[in-house]
Copies of this chain bind each other. A is one copy, B any other.
């Protein structure tokens, strides 16, 4: 049988077991931390020269200058031509839908007037320049390019700079084509902590950006954590997860394959099925048993299911909801007949997929919502990547002379209470009697 843990809410230690199962130690360890610190500092102080050296060492890519590592417009065009028509139209289909969804997210500036003639508002602007990190080598993720670059473009970001490692020169045409479709402006074949450092601090050739987004390995994640504050970052992502709440009505093979599609990411990925019908859990396990051998990545799937997967039996769907809220999963499938009855009670989840036909993998690629999602229970406080992440707000305040005089009274009282005399005086100056504006 496929090796996968079984839990039941009737066990007295259920919640502790669940806690243990979903726990993820995100700290990278002192050694990795130290190595990343050195690389980041190296690029910050050494610029292009350091960047070339690290790229030679880590990616086996020997270039005479960083300029040579920039992918030419011609090469990008050629890649877009070279991929098969089916791929091109699938990527375009996905981009169109991601754009349509993102457009709904845009927030606008607003302003209102209070009863004293003061104007209060917020002015929304886009980030000037964004860096998109894309993993490279064996794993080519064109979908990741679309999911990161399209919302940036929708937000109005002026320039999008992408980095993608090309270990030993290997570079995916699908990734380049996706970059063209998404409207990426410049691409450098750089990777790892050195790429993140170059984007954060800039070098002679790589422009510094204001925010870095996109997934990467442990080195990339730690480098992003390190430069956070110098630039913005999207998030520090942990392993991918899905929690499926099932009413036991979908074809067990659908659910089994959905669990596989999560588990195939890597051996730390987490696939959880929660259902009140234990017979159905058996049926899904049997379906997994049948289908697993056919999978291209069956070894990875087997390992991640054994390590971090679980079939969880609950009393009813209400309890399934409790389990989901405790886990705060990155992906949540509500594979039930009436998903709208459950969704309102979901407090924490990155993306919610409603109904039997809504496979997570449809959302991963082309439905429209973003696939960059909060992992490792961070959906308790974090949100999917969106246009929001590429917009920023400034508060605006205009005080009428009467409004200022009125506000000055409260401001001065509080300022005195905080021992900040100049604050109090600056406020009081705006009351009638002291000097004049114009």
Cα A318 to Cα B226 with chains together (Å):
36
> In the complex, what residues of B have CB within 8 A of residue A407's CB?
362, 365-367
Contact B347 A378 (CB under 8 A): no
Main secondary structure of the interface of A (DSSP, over half): mixed
Question: How far is the CB of A172 from the nearest CB of chain B, in Å?
Answer: 8
A142-B417, A232-B378 in contact; A347/B125 too (CB < 8 A)?
yes
A349 in the interface (beta carbon within 8 A): yes
Cα A138 to Cα B420 with chains together (Å):
12
> In the complex, what residues of B have CB within 8 A of residue A394's CB?
332, 346, 348-352, 379, 383-384
Contact A423 B352 (CB under 8 A): no
A267 in the interface (beta carbon within 8 A): no
Contact B380 A127 (CB under 8 A): yes
A362-B411, A423-B264 in contact; A398/B339 too (CB < 8 A)?
yes
Contact B417 A367 (CB under 8 A): no
- Which among A250, A296, A421 has the highest number of chain B CB atoms within 10 Å? A421
A430 in the interface (beta carbon within 8 A): yes
Contact B86 A413 (CB under 8 A): yes
A419 in the interface (beta carbon within 8 A): yes
Cα A357 to Cα B45 with chains together (Å):
45
> In the complex, what residues of B have CB within 8 A of residue A110's CB?
104
> In the complex, what residues of B have CB within 8 A of residue A114's CB?
97, 100, 368
Contact A426 B257 (CB under 8 A): yes
> In the complex, what residues of B have CB within 8 A of residue A105's CB?
122
Contact B399 A355 (CB under 8 A): yes
Residue contacts A-B, CB under 8 angstroms, 22 given: A26-B230, A86-B413, A89-B410, A120-B368, A139-B419, A140-B418, A142-B418, A251-B436, A251-B437, A254-B429, A254-B430, A254-B437, A263-B422, A351-B394, A353-B398, A358-B404, A361-B422, A361-B424, A362-B397, A364-B423, A381-B392, A384-B395
A67 in the interface (beta carbon within 8 A): no
Contact A396 B86 (CB under 8 A): no
Contact B414 A352 (CB under 8 A): no
Contact A87 B139 (CB under 8 A): no
A240-264 to B contact mask, C-beta < 8 Å, 1/0: 0000000001110110011011011
